[in-house]
Amino acid sequence: MGLSDKLFKTRKEKGSDILSQVEESKAAMINILPVSYAVFEYIYDEHEEIIDLRYLYVNEKYEEMTGYKSKQIIGKLFSEVFPGHLEIWLPTAKKVAKEKTTVRDITYGSEIKHWLRFVASPTMMDHSISFVFIMVDDEITKQNDMEKSINTDHFLVEINKAFDSDLSFEESIKKVLEETSNVIHPDRINIVEKNDDDTYSSTYEWFKEGLSPELDNCQNRPFEHFKAWNEAVRSDIYIDIPDVQEFDFDQGQKDYFKAINVKRLILLPLYNNGKVFGFVTIYNPHPDQNYDMQSLMTTWTYIISSSLTQHNALTEFKHFSKFDALTNIYNRYGFTLSSNQYMKENPGQTYTLAVMDIDEFKFINDLYGHHLGDEILKFFAKEIREAFATNCIFGRTGGDEFCVLFKNQSMDSVVGKLNEFSLKHHVLKDSQTEYEFTISIGCAEYPSQSQDASKLFSLADAALYAVKLHGKNGCQVYNEHLALKNRSLLGFGLKDISGNIPCAIMVYQKEGEKILYANNEAIHLFECQDVDELIEIASGSFKGLVHPSDYRRVRESIDQQIIENHNDLSEFVKYRIFTKNGLTKDVMEFGRLTRSNYYGDVYYILLVDQDMLSLDQDYL
C-alpha cells in the first residue's frame, strides 16, 4: 500500500477528524470570503512523485466557480473531476511541496474557461496544499487587449518604415506583403487594381512556399467579375468571409476558389478620394491572436491605399513627363532622352532621323475644329507606330510634328519606306465622313551628314521645309545644297500675303457659289466692315454680289474660258457689282478653278475696281 493510500485510509477512518484539523472558525471565515478556496491532498506514485491531487475541502465560492457541490467532489481526484486539465496545476503543487513556499501567479483555468489569479500554500496538515482563486477575466482581457494594441501598433510602424525606406516601391511592397504574411499566415495575398478601361488586374502578390504565382492569370478582368466585391465593401471596409461558397459570388468565381482550394477569404477595399480603385484579397488566413486583426487590417489597408495612390500618381507624372498624353508616344523630352540614351550606348552605329508633319494642319483645325485635329493626330501617330514598328524610336515633338529615329539603319535602307509613307493615302474615317490629309518628311543621316544630334535634327528639319517650299506632300533627303535661309519664305502666312496684296481676293465654291474667303481689300471693295457683313449682303453666295443683268453673261464667259484654257481664265471678265451702301461698281475678275480636298471645286479670283486703274483705256 502506497503512502497516499495509507494517508487517505487513515483520514477516511477518522471521518470528521479530517475537517477537524481545519479550524472551524477559520473554515467559517474562509467560507464567507468572496474568493474560491480549496484544499487538496498530494497523491504520490511508488517513487514518491506527486502525480495527482485529491479534494479535501472546498468553500461555497469554489462550488459556484466550478459548478460542483462539495459532496460531489470531496474525496475524488482532480483528474477525475476535470479530465485532461491536471497538467495546469501539477507543477505548482510540486513546487509548493518541495520548497514549502507560497506561489502567486495568473493562469488560464481551462477546466472552467476563466482566467484565474491564485495563491497556492502549504497547509497545517502534512502532504496537503490550499488554493485561493480569484477570477480575473476582465483584467486579463484588458491586459491582452493592451498587448494586442502594442503588437498591432508596432507592426504598423514597421510597415510605414518599409515604405519610407530607400527601397524601390516594388521592393517595399514585397517586403510589406511578406511581413503581413507572418501575422496573418495566409496561402496568398493579392492586390488588384482598377484599369483605365474599368477592367481589373492583379499588380502585386505574395504566396506561400509550394504555391505558384497567379499574377499573370489575373489581368484585365471585366468589371462583372468584381461586382459582388464592390457591393460587399459598400457597407464595410473589412470583409471576413468564412466560406466563399456561401457568399454572393457568381458561380465562376466559386469554381475558381474551389479549384485553388480557397475556403476563407478576407476582402479589403482600396480607396482614393472616397472611390474604390482596387482590392486586397487574403486567401485562407489564420490570423495571429496576439494582434487586433480588424484594427490592424483597417489601418494596413489605409497605408496600402495611400502608398499605391502616391506611387501611381508619381508613376503617371513620370510617364507623362516623357509621353504625349494625346497620342501616348514619346513627347519631345521623352524622344530626346531616349534618342540620346541610344546614341550614347551605340556611338559607332549609323542611324537615320526623319522629321515629319501634317500639311496644312492649322487649316484642318480651323476648318473642322480642334477635336477632329486631335483625332487626326492620334490617327497619324498610330500610322507611324504601325509603319515603323521595328527598331525605331518615335515621338510627337510638337504640334503636328513627329520624329522617327531609325536605329542602326542607313538612309539608303529607309528612304524607300519614307517615300512610300509620305505618298500614302492618309484618310481618317468615321461613321459618316472621310478626312484626307497629306504629310511632308525631311530626313538626315548620322554620322555621314552630322555627328551632332541637335544639328542632325536641324538638317532633317531643313529637308522637311524644303518639301514645304516645293508644294508639300513628299519626302526630302537632306543635302548640302538645301539653303536654310530659304526658310524665310515660309514666314509669310495667308493672312500676311492676302492682307497686303493691293487687290481684292475671294474664294468661293463652284457648286452653289458659297463664299469661303474674302481678304480686307475685297471687304472694303463692297463697303463692308468685316467678312460676316459681306456674306450677309450677298446672302452667302457670290451670285448675290453680281449685278443681276450681268450674272448670266459673266457665268457663261467664265465657264467657256475654263473649258478652253483648262481651268484658267485667260482674260479679264468685266461686270458690275453692288456694294453694301447701294453703289454700283465696275470690276474686272481674273481667276482659276481648282480642286480642294475639303471643298471640292473652288474658284480663286482677283477683283479689280476699274475706277482705281490709271491704265490706258485702249489697254483695258
Number of H helices, E strands in the chain: 21, 22
- Model confidence band, residue 30 (pLDDT cutoffs 50, 70, 90): low
Is 70 exceeded by the pLDDT of residue 295? Answer: yes
Share of the chain above pLDDT 70, in %: 90
Judged against a pLDDT cut of 70, whether residue 18 lies above it is answered with no
HSE-CB for 454 with a 13 A CA cutoff: 0
Q: Does residue 324 belong to any structural domain of this protein? A: no
Helix 370-387 × helix 361-368 angle, to 10° = 140
Instruction: Tell me if 100 sits within 8 A of 54, measured CB to CB.
Output: no
In a domain, 618, yes or no: no
pLDDT of residue 500: 77
Residues with catalytic function: 400
Question: Residue 525 pLDDT more than 70?
Answer: yes
Cell 538612309, residue?
A: 411
Residue 597 has what pLDDT? 73
pLDDT of 222 higher than 70 = yes
Domain boundary among 103, 135, 167: 135
Q: How far apart are CA 142 and CA 56, in angstroms?
A: 35
Check residue 475 and give its pLDDT.
Answer: 95
273 part of a folded domain: yes
| 3-state DSSP assignment of residue 235 | coil
Give the other-Cβ count within 10 Å of 444's Cβ: 26
Q: DSSP letters along 446-477, please?
A: ETTT-S-HHHHHHHHHHHHHHHHHTTSSEEEE
What is the distance, to the nearest Å, from the Cα of residue 384 to the centroid of all Cα atoms in its chain?
27
The reply to whether 289 and 184 lie within a common domain is yes
Same domain? 457 vs 405? yes
Residue span of the structural domain in which 424 resides: 332-491
- For 116-148, how does the pLDDT look when each residue is reduced to its tens digit (9 = 90+)? 999 999 998 889 999 999 988 888 788 888 899
498 and 481 in a common domain: no
- Euclidean distance between CA atoms 425 and 432, whole angstroms: 18
Alpha-carbon distance of 603 to 509, in angstroms, equals 6
Residue 585, pLDDT score: 92
CATH number at residue 176: 3.30.450.40
CA distances from 253 to 224, 228, 262 (A): 11, 10, 11
Instruction: List pLDDT tens digits, range 389-434.
Output: 889 999 999 999 999 999 999 999 999 999 999 999 999 988 788 8
Q: What is the average pLDDT across 329-356?
A: 92
* pLDDT tens per residue, range 145-196: 889 999 999 999 999 999 988 999 999 999 999 999 999 999 999 999 998 8
Reported confidence tier of residue 12, pLDDT bands at 50, 70, 90: very low
Greater confidence (445 vs 229) lies with 445
pLDDT digits (tens, 9 = 90+) for 186-201: 999 999 999 888 898 9
Q: How far apart are CA 611 and CA 172, in angstroms?
A: 85
Predicted pLDDT of residue 260:
87
Task: Please tell me whether residues 434 and 558 are part of one structural domain.
Answer: no
Which of these, 113, 65, 119, 61, lies nearest to 85 by C-alpha position?
113
Among 80, 115, 135, residue at a domain's last position:
135
The H or E element that residue 600 is part of is strand 600-609
Q: Which one is predicted more confidently, 47 or 19?
A: 47
Residues 464 and 594 in one domain: no
CA-CA distance, 582 to 570, in Å (whole number)? 31
Do β-strands 474-477 and 439-446 pair in parallel, antiparallel, or remain unpaired? Answer: parallel
Residue 618's pLDDT is 46
